[in-house]
Amino acid sequence: MTDFLWQDRDKKEYVYPFNPRPECLDMIQRPPTVALDIGCGSGGVGHELRRRHPGCELWGCEFNASAAQVAREHFDKVVEQDVETVDFAAMGLTRPFDLVCLFDVLEHLVNPWQLLSGLKRIVAPDAQILVSLPNASNLPMLYDAMRGHWRYTHWGLLDFTHLRFFTDFDARKMFYQTGFRVIDHRLDYLGEGRGIYERHQAEPFPLVLTLGGLSLQVASADDLARLCADRNLYLLSPHHGDFRDDNEREMASNSYPTTYTFGG
C-alpha cells in the first residue's frame, strides 16, 4: 500500500537540494562583507556566495542536523537553532550582517512578521535582505482550487509544510510593516505558468486567457506575468520609518483597499 504524502515525508530523511539560487543572488547590488543564510540547507547558497564574494564572512542557520553538517563545508559558521534566539555576538560575530538570505523560508513559519521584525537587531542600517516567496496568485494553482482541488505536494507552491501564503501585495505589506522597503522585485517561473506566459506574452492586451473551462480577461503584460509566476523574489533594505511617498506609508499601515479590481 502506498503511503500518504505526510507519512512518506515523515518516515524518511528529507534530502535538501544543493541549490545555489543564482536568480536571487543576482539581485545583490553591493558586495557583502558578512552574510547570513537563514534555512541554509546543505549549503548551496554559501557555496555560491563564496565563489562570488570570496572575502565575505558567511554564517548559516539550519535546524536539520545532517544538512547543517554538509553546509559547514561552505560557511564559516552554521548555527543549529532558531535564529530569533541566537546570541550572534557570543558566537563571535563582530559586526552586523549586511546581507541576509531568506529563500523559501517565511512561508514555513507561524509568525514570519516576528522574524522579519527581529532581524533589525542584527543587520546593518543599509543591509540587503533577499527573499524568495511562493506566489499565491499563481493562476494554475488557483484554477486547480476553483475546480475543487488543493493539491499538497512534497515541494513547490503547495509544499504541505507551508503555513503561510502571500501574494505580492501582501508580501510587500508584511515587509513595510516590519521595517523594510522593497528595492527590487522579480518574478521566477518554474512550472505550468511559465508555458502560459511564454505563449501569450507577445499578444496584444487586454487578452482573454482560457485555461480549461475558465476564461479570464487579462488587462496587461504585468498582470499576465504576475499570474504565471511561481515565486516572487525581493531585495529589501531597512526603511527606518522614513517613507519615501504616500504609497510606502499606506503599505506600512493596517488598511487594505475596500475593493480589488483585477488589472486596476
Note whether residue 224 is domain-resident: no
Angle of CA points 39, 188, 70, to nearest 5°? 25
Are 39 and 105 contacting, i.e. CB atoms less than 8 angstroms apart?
Answer: yes
- 60: helix, coil or strand? strand
Query: Cα 256 to the chain's mean position, in Å?
Result: 22
- Residue 44 is predicted with a pLDDT of 97
Q: How confident is the model at residue 262 (pLDDT cuts 50, 70, 90)?
A: very low
How much is the average pLDDT of 141-158? 89
Where is 98: in which H helix or E strand? strand 97-103
Give CA–CA dist 102/242, Å, rounded.
24
pLDDT at 155: 82
Residue 263 pLDDT class (50, 70, 90 cuts): very low
| Average pLDDT of the segment spanning 193-197 | 92
* Residues whose CB is less than 8 angstroms from the CB of residue 149 and which lie 6 or more positions away in sequence, other chains included: none
pLDDT band at 217 (very low <50, low <70, confident <90, very high): very high
Q: What confidence tens digit (pLDDT) does each residue in 239-259 have? A: 999 999 988 998 999 888 765
Burial class (CB in 10 A: 0-12, 13-18, 19+), 109: middle
pLDDT at 212: 82
pLDDT in tens, 51-92: 999 999 999 999 999 999 999 999 999 999 989 899 999 999
Least confident of 66-70, 81-85, 122-126, 210-214: 210-214
Residue-level pLDDT at 261:
47
pLDDT class of 131 with cuts at 50, 70, 90: very high
Instruction: Identify the pLDDT of residue 264.
Output: 36
Once rounded to an integer, what is the mean pLDDT over residues 128-132?
Answer: 98
- For the cut 80, the answer to whether the pLDDT of residue 6 exceeds it is no
For residue 89, give every residue at least 6 positions away whose Cβ sits within 8 Å of its Cβ, in sequence order, or none.
Answer: none
C-alpha grid cell, residue 63: 535546524
Q: Tell me, yes or no, whether 150 lies in a domain.
A: yes
In a domain, residue 260? The reply is: no
Q: How confident is the model at residue 235 (pLDDT cuts 50, 70, 90)?
A: very high
Segment 147-161 mean pLDDT: 88
Task: Indicate the length of the chain as a whole number.
Answer: 264
- State mean pLDDT over 198-219: 90
Rounded CA-CA distance 225/220 in Å is: 9
Q: What is the CATH classification number for the domain harbouring 28?
A: 3.40.50.150
- Residue ranges making up the domain that contains 119: 5-190+230-251
Residue 206 domain-assigned (yes or no): no
Using DSSP's 3-state secondary structure scheme, residue 3 falls into coil
CA 22 – CA 136 distance, rounded (Å) = 22
* Three-state secondary structure readout of 187-239: EECCCHHHHHHHHHCCCCCCEEEEECCEEEEECCHHHHHHHHCCEEEEEEEEC
Could you give the CA distance from residue 193 to residue 224 in angstroms, rounded to a whole number?
10
Q: What is the DSSP letter of 53?
A: -
C-alpha grid cell, residue 17:
537540494
- Look up residue 24 and give its three cell numbers: 536571487
Please state the domain count of the chain: 1
Q: Is residue 225 part of a domain?
A: no
Task: Decide if 211 is inside a domain.
Answer: no
Q: Is the pLDDT of residue 185 over 80?
A: yes
The tens digit of pLDDT for each residue in 7-51 reads: 665 555 555 778 999 999 999 999 999 999 999 999 999 999 999
Dihedral in degrees, nearest 10, Cα atoms 245, 249, 251, 255: -130
Percent of all residues in the chain with a pLDDT value above 70, rounded to a whole number: 93
Question: Confidence class of residue 196 from pLDDT cuts 50, 70 and 90?
Answer: very high
What pTM value is reported for the model? 0.93
Question: How many of the other CB atoms lie within 10 Å of CB of 8?
Answer: 11
Classify 181 as helix, strand or coil: strand
Q: Is residue 153 part of a domain?
A: yes
Query: Considering the domain boundaries, does residue 199 fall inside one?
Result: no
